[in-house]
Amino acid sequence: MSQDILKGKAFVLGKNIDTDQIIPAQHLVYSLNDPEERKFYGRYALSGTPSEESGLPQGNIPLVEDDAFESEFKIIVGGPNFGCGSSREHAPAALQIAGIQAIVSPSYARIFYRNSVDGGFVIPYESLEDLSKEVHTNDELEIHKNENVLKNITQNKTYKLKALGSVEDIVEAGGIFEYARKMGMVPKNEKVAS
Amino acid sequence: MSMTLTEKILAKHSGRSMVDPGETVWIDVDVLMTHDVCGPPTISIFHKEFGEEARVWDKDKLVIIPDHYIFTNDKYANRNVDILRAFAAEQTLPNYYDVGTDRYKGVCHVALPEEGYTRPGEVLFGTDSHTCTAGAFGQFATGIGNTDAAFIMGTGKLWVKVPETMRFEFEGDHLPPYIMAKDIILKVIGDIGVDGATYRTMEFAGPGIKALDIESRMTLTNMVIEAGGKNGVVEPDAKTEEYVNQRTEVSYELVHSDPDASYHSVYHYNLEEMVPMVAKPHSPDNKATAAELEGTPLTRAYIGSCTGGKLSDFKAAAEIIQGHDLAIDTFIVPATTEVANGLSTEKINGQTLKEIFEGAGCKIGRASCAACLGGPEDTFGRLNGKEVCISTTNRNFPGRMGSKDSEVYLASPYTVAASAVTGKITDPRQFIN
């Protein structure tokens, strides 16, 4: 969480993107630990999204190309109620494994938001308005974390983002375990597996 | 200070005399539940963070119920159950309900009440979004992810933001004979939208809710997540106590909302004004009445899941199906083994429910989540192509029950059964006077 500016290409989605679209249930069987199996979460990230709604405004753009494991896109701009549906943590994990660093949406479903923050997968930024209507897939974006600002370099526009608020300390720490260790709530673990 | 039921439970479990909506508190957890999809990653985070030798915080408070991908040849899915079994052995867990044994239960949200884990006044977290079902017993119950569950496994605690409460008050003293709790919750979700209760509690109250039996209350709280709700609650009463006392000897405390508690909003409904409802593809809030959709062609009917796979759901469906041939493939999946046993013992006009379903040509599967969430391709009842299905389940997102090309309509067991008979969406009033 040390980078002050997140940079990368935008991938734009509509409203109510549910976790079945983010990672369809049939793929929830792979191990998140095994480095070879884990990659498949990247390959299938957002594979449940109807094609015409994937990569707006044009559509028919997959987040990850057919035989790839990682995406060329880094920041998702979504409509309201992003991440609704099931509690599967595999959803924010799949986006992270595909290479997504942050999401910008006017609102999130609460379990997805919690999972993104507590697992340290992606940073869920809240925008003041629905930017999925303004930003285009492939636009070059920058998120200036210290100023809570989103810059669309391609369109030369700047948008204010909401401060992370009460979860900022957990985001900054990199997840709930890192935060709890800092606060002395959980003992330090010397034998952390790779 | 006056508080709602949810605020009181969170105050007590955070060691405070009161809490306000919006504040973040760390609470003590009474029960943590996980299953075969989210259990294995939770266990691996637990060991990574607390060490290979770590022990769970309280063996009696951890409940593991494999239910999602059980009857499949998918090797990875089967491996997940092996991981749960090994963990239960390693930690000598008393509350593990293993596949292939007499202890196997099926769908966790129906199994939890059956086994006495849904106790009023307590806090239950589960690695499944429909954990909110247990709010029907006056418990604070909500879904979480693997990392949060692993944190609880090691510490017995978790942070929560105290939710504001929306109150849904129901007048009336009985359901019309053609209406089920599913119609009520589809109506409410359609009214407030799929994010209408995000971050909030949905509290169901009033004489209309008191009149509902326990399984109907479970159908209401089960689907609060479909409106984005953090939890749903029904105030516990004599019916709750009777149900819970038959299934556990653990003591608990009945918690009620104060009469002058403050609410985010209050909605008013009357049971007797309800009409059969349907959620159209591809969202649970895409509401219509069954009458408006009358005649919409279907290729399949599905009755099952934590929402619509309880014994009362099958009884309702059998009332309509008895004595009829079915026009479309109809799949029956009891939520739990206890419900499956009930299909063989519960009778209508001298016929068991199982005989009624088999006689009509239904396909009956084994207790599990089955096709409610699609799952591996060999899952019983999965929509593998362009099926148009009417289902008693809870979600109809694109691809939810399998193929992205399929379409799912959500409805009550009465409406699904009536539609199975005709092969088209059918208002159950055509079969029930």
Residue in this structure with the two tokens 């691996």, named with its chain if needed: B44
3-class DSSP state of B224: helix
pTM more than 0.95: yes
Q: What percent of chain B has pLDDT over 90?
A: 100
B396 CB neighbours in chain A (<8 A) are: none
Show Cβ contacts of residue A31 under 8 Å, excluding neighbours closer than 6 positions. A37, A38, B40, B41, B44, B76
Within 10 A of A58 (CB to CB), how many other CB atoms are there? 12
Question: How far, in Å, are B14, B81, B152, B333 from residue B98 at the CA level?
Answer: 33, 8, 22, 19
Within 10 A of B295 (CB to CB), how many other CB atoms are there? 8
Domains of chain A: which residue ranges? 5-163
Tens digit of pLDDT for each residue in B152-188?
999 999 999 999 999 999 999 999 999 999 999 999 9
Those residues of chain A that have pLDDT short of 70 are 1-2, 189-194
Residue B415: pLDDT band with limits 50, 70, 90? very high
Using the beta-carbon criterion (under 8 Å), do B400 and A20 form an inter-chain contact? yes
Considering only CB atoms, A89 lies closest to which of B38, B76, B395, namely: B38
Give the DSSP H/E element, type plus range, for residue B231. strand B231-234
Q: Which of B223, B30, B51, B47 is nearest to B121 (CA)?
A: B30
Tens digit of pLDDT for each residue in B349-392?
999 999 999 999 999 999 999 999 999 999 999 999 999 999 99
A110 CB neighbours in chain B (<8 A) are: 198-199, 228, 230
For chain B, report the end-to-end CA distance as a whole number of angstroms.
49
Residue B227: pLDDT band with limits 50, 70, 90? very high
3-class DSSP state of B26: strand
Residue in this structure with the two tokens 């609470």, named with its chain if needed: B27
What angle is formed at CA B82 by the lines to CA B76 and CA B83, rounded to 5 degrees?
90
Residue A152 forms beta bridges with which residues? A141, A157
Within 10 A of A126 (CB to CB), how many other CB atoms are there? 18
What angle is formed at CA A57 by the lines to CA A55 and CA A61, rounded to 5 degrees?
25
Q: Is A39 on the interface with B (CB under 8 A)?
A: no
Q: Which CATH superfamily is domain B5-250+263-270 in?
A: Aconitase, domain 3 (3.30.499.10)
Using the beta-carbon criterion (under 8 Å), do B51 and A85 form an inter-chain contact? no
B144 CB neighbours in chain A (<8 A) are: 87, 111, 114-115
- Mark which residues 295-324 of B lie under 8 Å from A by CB: none
Tens digit of pLDDT for each residue in A79-89?
999 999 999 99
Whole-number CA gyration radius for chain B? 21
Q: What is the pLDDT of residue B58?
A: 98
Q: Is B39 on the interface with A (CB under 8 A)?
A: no
**Is B411:B298 a contact under the CB 8 Å cutoff?**
no
The CATH number of A5-163 is 3.20.19.10
Show Cβ contacts of residue B102 under 8 Å, excluding neighbours closer than 6 positions. none
Domains of chain B: which residue ranges? 5-250+263-270, 277-430
Residue in this structure with the two tokens 């369109």, named with its chain if needed: A155
Tens digit of pLDDT for each residue in B52-96?
999 999 999 999 999 999 999 999 999 999 999 999 999 999 999
* Exposed/middle/buried for residue A190 (C-beta within 10 Å: 0-12, 13-18, 19+): exposed
Q: What is the pLDDT of residue A166?
A: 87
- Mark which residues 92-131 of A lie under 8 Å from B by CB: 92, 107-111, 114-115, 118-119
What is the topology classification, in CATH, of domain B277-430? Aconitase; domain 3 (3.30.499)
